[in-house]
Amino acid sequence: MSAALSSTSPISCQLNGARVTFPPDPSARLSSALRGLGLTGTKVGCDAGDCGACTVLLDGAPICACLCSTAQAEGRDVRTIEGLTATNPAAVQLQAAFLRHGAAQCGFCTPGMIVAATALLERNSRPTEAEVSDAIGGVLCRCTGYRKIVAAILDVPATAFDGPQPPSGTAIGARIARLDGRRKVTGADSYGDDGAPADALVLKVVRSPHHRAAFAFGDIGAFLTAHPGLIAVLMAPDVTGVNRFGVIAPFADQPVFAERETRFKGEAVAAIVGEAEAMAALDLSAFPVAWTELRPALSPDEARAMGASRLHESRPDNVLVRGRVARGDVEAGLAAAAVRAEGLFETGFVEHAPIEPEAGWARRVGDRIEIHACTQAPYMDRDDVAAILGIAPEAVRIVPTAVGGGFGTKLDLSVQPFLALAAWRLGRPVRMTYSRRESIMTTTKRHPARIRMRAGAASDGRLLALDVEAEFNTGAYASWGPTVANRVPVHASGPYLVPNYRARSVAVHTHVVPAGAFRGFGVPQAAVAQEQIYDELAAALGMDALDFRILNALGPDDPTVTGQILGPGTGIRACFEALRPAWTRARAEAAAFNRGRAANGHLRRGVGIAGMWYGCGNTSMSNPSTMRIGITHDGRIVLHQGAVDIGQGSNTIIPQIAADALGVPLGALDLAPPDTDLTPDAGKTSASRQTVVSGKATELACRALRAAILRMANAGSDATIRPAPGELRVDEAGHRRLIRLADLPLDERGYAISAEETFDPPTTPLDEDGQGHPYAVYGFGAHLAEIEVDLALGTVKVLHVTAAHDVGRAINPTLLEGQIEGGIAQGLGLALMEEFHPGRGENLHDYLIPTVGDVPPITTILIEDPNPVGPSGAKGIGEQALIPTAPAILNAIHHATGTRIRRVPATPDRVLAAIREAHLAADPSPPGEGESAPADRGGVLPGWGCPHPGSTLRVDSPSPIGRDRDRTDQGQRP
Ligand code: FES
């Protein structure tokens, strides 16, 4: 801080080329001051310097604005994304390159990335990839997997900004730049914290500091009196409707405010609302509440042992729900097997860590409430908020803001009920933004799993039987626990023909944050177990792991474990076959590397493979989506696109489908974005359903509109439709017919011509053995991971991933690749570094997600085996992309070391312990020529020594350089 400044001195600096003065608060964060001036392109993800979303240039150097006080900016030059967009050629070229490469998904990290990259390019116009990684090493991205960001920066100078638009009828399959990308790369997109009215009150929540506690409030009136500027305190009695919400209605069990007792650390008991200045000064610890800590059950074992002490009165043994699928005779299949394998596998809580914390604002408009917030499920939010307020759903308007990543966690309510209650009662706009700690502490997590599997195969390699028992820690409230418990038994076989199968699952309540939806709904955890067990079967048979999978891969005429024949579009075998060249090369290269042990010291390389399948949409439940398209009197074609784009690309893919189905150029479409007052219900953005379900509804609606237009013009199906101001031109065989739109009466939707269609994928209920057709469309994929293990440190470095995915039809290959790369990055985190411990590490410094330094080069192979249900045969990709990464990495670790990691993440302590256990750590000898895997020979290499008990392994001095290296090492630290 400048010594000359006092707390009353005005603070001024040069901001984007103009002199500005900040209020006289020398300790104010620069990030807050900038946003207070309307420069909301500077995003705030953590307020702790961990995420880099708030990166700005201070005298040309990139800094985290959240760690810089306004006093430190006194007299200096500050440039933000807005200033760079206006004046800096390198920044503008970066924005073009980001668009062309698909380097922005949700876009929340994008301004920070572009600012950091601009600083690099200003001093080095031709950086190397290593220099690029170093420059953006302090900026986290949770969506992209960084590869396209690096490629974009290396591609500067770029050419066209958005790229050319495809001609009419060719939008599907084109690598179109994200249609909403320009506002993401310029920082103009408006997220949950960006758009609140200036006079909005601020809301903060009082939360339980204990896993389980009774509580009693003190004198609330005195508290309000003692704090001028505070307006109200809300508690359970202030809930005007039902003090319960939940994403699956029959299981709805979570109170807005706890009553009498809290069930997890961070649970809300009250909300304080006040003027912004008073709330900024408020010390929440002054709130009058007395806590009595109670004995919690933190694990399923503890919860089941609690007996009558239930978290929810109606759920004996604290069991939320059980799932089951059975087919054939699993015991007979195991008895007949030539080889058998079994094991217990465990995974922990995983935090979604979207870089945008939950945020939004609400206002009362007459007898209606309007909520602007980040969400994946606007209509579900609408219905839940209506029930909480005790008003009709039609009296609630949900306007989703841009969403800075979700991955499942923004399917559940977060800020919405608090905002709605406060704005409804006070009649003033109210805003709220979760702190990073609040976000990590209270939002849903990936379910920790304990999965036991037994599997058997015949001597010719064919799978005979698989027995699965899966237990999930579902936390204090139901959230998506029932979905996970029901989806896992359907998927735990993997994409293979398993004639004898039994899978049982149970979700158990504990006193921890609710576990919910996270990219895969439990399937990634099951794949960690199943793909490793199958590798063990292959090894026991002496079979190549890829050959084993191809032999057993589901074909179009094979029954799944639920008895469903999938028919055309069963592309798993093609995915595995596509990996064979990489498999052959990588195994040979690993063997060659490992032969050079003298040169490589403790390093060993391994190659692993894993497959996946995933049913798109809800499991055996109605799953509809409705899309509307209309043409105005002046000739605008408006697509009411209600599928929320959380970065996955529905704002681009849905219009691509629409343009081709209607037969007009993509550029002719205007988008009406998600808004429960303006767009019909497209369902939630989850379960890889939007491309399939909403895409199909779009295709149907646009075809219906096209048919109506052609009927009106008395034209045949091959006619061409050309929109023009005030008219449609329909050309056929050299003849043109004009439809003058102003001559048509407006229909009930307010358009000259319009169409609306609903699509609900055909499924059937599952019987008591789980037999039936749970999904209409499955996606398939397989990953190959090449890794390097340091046998002395236990660290694992992923060198390369090759991913083959059957996407049915690639609507937009660039966006598909982005989804796959982002999924791989999250799968890598699941495998190697991510584990949330309730009550600890509630920040992005202790809870580590992959940085640019952790994600290896990725080769993506898109397989197109069309499914007859999806639009143009397309399948989903969002969940699919993550599922096989972790088991492929774990199989590669086994290939490199001969040890099996049964609890993820495979942190160095766990890897090292496994290596020691297998007597492989000291003076290891590499595999010989043609010896592909230690595992193939029982997990012990000839000549590998065994360290003396308690001996100290030599560590070749690691030399962390910079923050990026530090993070990577920490990510691999227990
Ligand atoms: Fe980077 Fe979403 S695009 S966080």
What's the gap in Å between 779 CA and the centre of ligand 1?
24
Question: Is the model's pLDDT at 13 over the cut of 50?
Answer: yes
Worst-scoring range by mean pLDDT, 1-5, 347-351, 395-399? 1-5
∠ CA 359-688-560, nearest 5°, is 145
Label each residue of 218-232 as H, E or C. CCHHHHHHHCCCEEE
List 506's β-bridge partners, or say none.
322, 471
In the predicted model, what is the mean pLDDT of the chain? 92
CA distance 117 to 95: 10
What's the gap in Å between 103 CA and the centre of ligand 1?
9
CA distance 874 to 650: 13
The string of pLDDT tens digits covering residues 14-70 is 999 999 999 888 789 999 999 999 999 999 999 999 999 999 999 999 999 999 999
Instruction: Collapse the DSSP code of 779 into the 3-class scheme (helix H, G, I; strand E, B; otherwise coil) and give the result.
Output: strand
CATH code, residues 310-352+448-552: 3.30.365.10
Question: Is the model's pLDDT at 663 over the cut of 70?
Answer: yes
Residue nearest to atom 1 of ligand 1 (CA): 141
Cβ neighbourhood burial of 605 (10 Å; 0-12, 13-18, 19+)? buried
Residues in Cβ contact with 18 at an 8 Å cutoff, skipping those fewer than 6 apart: none
Region for residue 337 given its phi and psi (left: phi exceeds 0; alpha: psi -120 to 50; beta: otherwise): beta
Q: What share of the chain is helix, strand, coil (3-state, %, to 5)?
A: 30, 25, 45
* The predicted structure's pLDDT at residue 943: 26
Question: Is the model's pLDDT at 153 over the cut of 80?
Answer: yes
What's the gap in Å between 140 CA and the centre of ligand 1?
8
Question: Is the model's pLDDT at 273 over the cut of 60?
Answer: yes
Which atom of ligand 1 lies at the shortest distance from residue 106's CA? Answer: 2
Pocket test for ligand 1, best of 143, 439, 519, 648 (most atoms within 8 A of CB): 143
Residue nearest to atom 4 of ligand 1 (CA): 141
* The predicted structure's pLDDT at residue 6: 52
Which atom of ligand 1 lies at the shortest distance from residue 355's CA? Answer: 4
Cβ neighbourhood burial of 562 (10 Å; 0-12, 13-18, 19+)? buried
What's the gap in Å between 311 CA and the centre of ligand 1?
37
Every domain of the chain and the residues it spans: 1-173, 201-296+356-442, 310-352+448-552, 625-759
CB 106 within 8 A of CB 404: yes
Whether a cis peptide bond, with omega within 30° of 0, leads into 62 is: no
Fold of 201-296+356-442: Aldehyde Oxidoreductase; domain 4 (3.30.365)
CA distance 103 to 100: 8
Fold of 1-173: Ubiquitin-like (UB roll) (3.10.20)
CB 215 within 8 A of CB 291: yes
List 753's β-bridge partners, or say none.
631
Alpha helices in 202-309 (DSSP H): 220-226, 276-281, 300-305
Provide the residue type at 259 as one letter. Answer: E
Q: Which residue has the tokens 């219906």?
A: 704
The string of pLDDT tens digits covering residues 837-888 is 998 889 999 999 999 999 999 999 999 999 999 999 999 999 999 999 999 9
CA distance 893 to 604: 9
* The predicted structure's pLDDT at residue 919: 62
Which atom of ligand 1 lies at the shortest distance from residue 184's CA? Answer: 3
What's the gap in Å between 473 CA and the centre of ligand 1?
29
Which atom of ligand 1 lies at the shortest distance from residue 354's CA? Answer: 4
Q: What are the structure tokens assigned to 379, written together?
A: 């209509």
What's the gap in Å between 355 CA and the centre of ligand 1?
7
pLDDT, average across residues 184-193: 98
CA distance 205 to 10: 33
Residues in the chain: 974
The string of pLDDT tens digits covering residues 359-370 is 999 999 999 999
CATH architecture of the domain formed by 625-759: 2-Layer Sandwich (3.30)
What's the gap in Å between 825 CA and the centre of ligand 1?
12
Region for residue 104 given its phi and psi (left: phi exceeds 0; alpha: psi -120 to 50; beta: otherwise): beta
pLDDT, average across residues 620-648: 96
CB 397 within 8 A of CB 369: yes
Whole-angstrom distance between the N-terminal and C-terminal Cα of the chain?
A: 37
* The predicted structure's pLDDT at residue 935: 37
Question: Is the model's pLDDT at 2 over the cut of 50?
Answer: no
Instruction: Collapse the DSSP code of 50 into the 3-class scheme (helix H, G, I; strand E, B; otherwise coil) and give the result.
Output: coil
Q: What is the maximum span of the chain, computed from C-alpha positions, in angstroms? A: 91
Provide the residue type at 113 as one letter. Answer: M
Pocket test for ligand 1, best of 105, 409, 648 (most atoms within 8 A of CB): 105
Which atom of ligand 1 lies at the shortest distance from residue 405's CA? Answer: 2
Pocket around ligand 1 at a 6 A CB cut-off: 104-110, 141-144, 355, 405, 647
Instruction: Collapse the DSSP code of 798 into the 3-class scheme (helix H, G, I; strand E, B; otherwise coil) and give the result.
Output: strand
- Measuring CA to CA, how many Å separate 719 from each of 179, 665, 716? 27, 14, 6
The string of pLDDT tens digits covering residues 400-440 is 999 999 999 999 999 999 999 999 999 999 999 999 999 99
What's the gap in Å between 149 CA and the centre of ligand 1?
10
The single-letter DSSP state of residue 284 is: G
What's the gap in Å between 142 CA and the centre of ligand 1?
5
Identical fold, 1-173 and 625-759: no
Long-range contacts of 760-765 (CB under 8 A, 24+ apart): 760/622, 760/623, 760/624, 760/625, 760/693, 761/616, 761/617, 761/623, 761/692, 761/693, 761/696, 761/869, 762/869, 763/617, 763/618, 763/619, 763/620, 763/621, 763/623, 764/620, 765/620
Which atom of ligand 1 lies at the shortest distance from residue 404's CA? Answer: 2
Which atom of ligand 1 lies at the shortest distance from residue 53's CA? Answer: 4
What's the gap in Å between 111 CA and the centre of ligand 1?
10
What's the gap in Å between 184 CA and the centre of ligand 1?
10
The string of pLDDT tens digits covering residues 750-763 is 999 999 999 999 99
Pocket test for ligand 1, best of 98, 185, 355, 407 (most atoms within 8 A of CB): 355
pTM summary value? 0.93
CA distance 767 to 450: 25
Residue nearest to atom 2 of ligand 1 (CA): 106
Q: How far is CA 43 from the centre of its chain?
A: 19
CA distance 807 to 827: 19
∠ CA 863-864-865, nearest 5°, is 110
What's the gap in Å between 494 CA and the centre of ligand 1?
30
What's the gap in Å between 139 CA and the centre of ligand 1?
10
What's the gap in Å between 144 CA and the centre of ligand 1?
6
Q: How does strand 201-207 pair with strand 430-433?
A: parallel
Q: What are the structure tokens assigned to 918, written together?
A: 């297998």
- Measuring CA to CA, how many Å separate 755 from each of 626, 660, 667, 701? 11, 16, 19, 6
CA distance 382 to 679: 13
Q: What are the structure tokens assigned to 190, written together?
A: 């408006």
The string of pLDDT tens digits covering residues 773-813 is 999 999 999 999 999 999 999 999 999 999 999 999 999 99
Q: Which of 352, 62, 148, 131 is nearest to 855 (CA)?
A: 148
Q: What are the structure tokens assigned to 721, written together?
A: 């439709």
Confidence of residue 112 (pLDDT cuts 50, 70, 90): very high
Q: What are the structure tokens assigned to 346, written together?
A: 């465990």
CB 685 within 8 A of CB 376: yes
Alpha carbons within 13 A on the beta-carbon side of 512: 29
Q: Which of 621, 723, 605 is nearest to 664 (CA)?
A: 723
Residues in Cβ contact with 295 at an 8 Å cutoff, skipping those fewer than 6 apart: 212
Which atom of ligand 1 lies at the shortest distance from residue 103's CA? Answer: 3
pLDDT, average across residues 561-567: 97
Sign of CA pseudo-dihedral 545, 547, 549, 551: negative
CB 52 within 8 A of CB 116: yes
Determine the angle formed by the axes of helices 885-897 and 523-541, rounding to 10 degrees. 40
Q: What are the structure tokens assigned to 828, written together?
A: 């890598």
What's the gap in Å between 647 CA and the centre of ligand 1?
7
**Rg of the Cα trace of the chain?**
28
Pocket test for ligand 1, best of 144, 844, 849, 852 (most atoms within 8 A of CB): 144
* The predicted structure's pLDDT at residue 569: 94
Which atom of ligand 1 lies at the shortest distance from residue 105's CA? Answer: 3
Residues in Cβ contact with 348 at an 8 Å cutoff, skipping those fewer than 6 apart: 448, 835, 836, 837, 903, 904, 905
- Measuring CA to CA, how many Å separate 186 from each of 40, 92, 96, 115, 139? 11, 9, 10, 10, 17
Strand order in the sheet with 261-262: 261-262, 213-217, 289-293
Instruction: Collapse the DSSP code of 891 into the 3-class scheme (helix H, G, I; strand E, B; otherwise coil) and give the result.
Output: helix
What's the gap in Å between 687 CA and the centre of ligand 1?
19
CB 165 within 8 A of CB 176: yes
% of residues, the chain, pLDDT over 90 = 88
Residues in Cβ contact with 588 at an 8 Å cutoff, skipping those fewer than 6 apart: none
Pocket test for ligand 1, best of 108, 148, 183 (most atoms within 8 A of CB): 108
List 469's β-bridge partners, or say none.
452, 504
Q: How far is CA 641 from the centre of its chain?
A: 21
Confidence of residue 161 (pLDDT cuts 50, 70, 90): low
* The predicted structure's pLDDT at residue 79: 98
Alpha helices in 553-649 (DSSP H): 572-595, 597-600
What's the gap in Å between 516 CA and the centre of ligand 1?
21
Detail the DSSP E strand segments found in 655-742: 669-672, 720-724, 727-732, 735-740
Question: Is the model's pLDDT at 961 over the cut of 90?
Answer: no
In degrees and rounded to multiples of 5, residue 249 shows phi and psi of -50, -50
CA distance 510 to 498: 34
Which atom of ligand 1 lies at the shortest distance from residue 107's CA? Answer: 3
Pocket test for ligand 1, best of 46, 142, 153, 439 (most atoms within 8 A of CB): 142
Pocket test for ligand 1, best of 43, 55, 98, 106 (most atoms within 8 A of CB): 106
CA distance 592 to 586: 10
pLDDT, average across residues 620-633: 95
CA distance 436 to 128: 33
Q: What are the structure tokens assigned to 853, written together?
A: 């330094």
